[in-house]
Amino acid sequence: MKIGVLALQGAFAEHIVMLKKLGAETAEIRLPQQLDDLDGLIIPGGESTTMGKLMVDYELLEPLREFGLAHAMWGTCAGAILLAKDAHREQPLLNLMDITVERNAFGRQVDSFEAALDISSLNLESDAPFHAFFIRAPIIESMQGEAKALVTLPDGRIVAAQDGNLLATSFHPELTGDTRFHEYFLSLVKEN
């Protein structure tokens, strides 16, 4: 199984470390032709405006969109924003997931936080709380169509959602040593 990690900017190296731990083959993706032999793709955390700009300049927007229509794709934080159909702001988006996101929903960096999340909805072998990092994080404000909430904060705000083979998390499993979200994503790749 070969998983690409979009390497335009951001924490792509951290995702690659996690994927390698799970025995997946990995590739850094910067140009459209590099998508050809992939089974799945992760868009990492970083700055969504930076990545969006580089997607436009190197004609990645449409190829990534087509890839996501046929394959499993996962966006963390900025990646989740890029997968969305709406981010309340003029910026390039992939328009793939039936979700609306709000950027920087918790405030600025001084409001960034870590928290333990209930991930029992994922039906994994272990449903111990997932220790998650929220860094200037977005929230998934609303969902349409087939999209469903996977993980919520105690106040009900949605921080992980799935729409078919597409996964969005507003936090960063790649910053932890905990591979359970990456395992879950690989299971989506396999099912696909």
Q: Which residues are known catalytic residues?
A: 77, 172, 174
**Between residue 120 and residue 159, which ones bind other proteins under the rule CB under 8 A?**
133, 135-136, 153-154
Segment interacting with other proteins (CB under 8 A) among 8-16, 62-70, 140-148, 158-166: 8-16
- Identify the residue among 3, 5, 11, 61 touching other proteins (CB under 8 A): 11
Among 2, 39, 49, 178, the residue binding other proteins under the rule CB under 8 A is 49
The contact mask relative to other proteins for 55-94 (x = CB under 8 A, - = no) is --x-------------------xx----------x-----
Measured from the Cβ of residue 190, the count of other Cβ atoms closer than 10 Å reads 11
Is 25 a binding residue for other proteins by CB under 8 A? The answer is: no
Dihedral angle computed from the Cα positions of residues 101, 65, 44 and 170, in that order, rounded to the nearest 10 degrees: 20
CB of 153 to other proteins, least distance (A): 7
Q: Is 110 in the site for other proteins (CB under 8 A)?
A: yes
Closest approach of other proteins to the CB of residue 15, in Å:
11
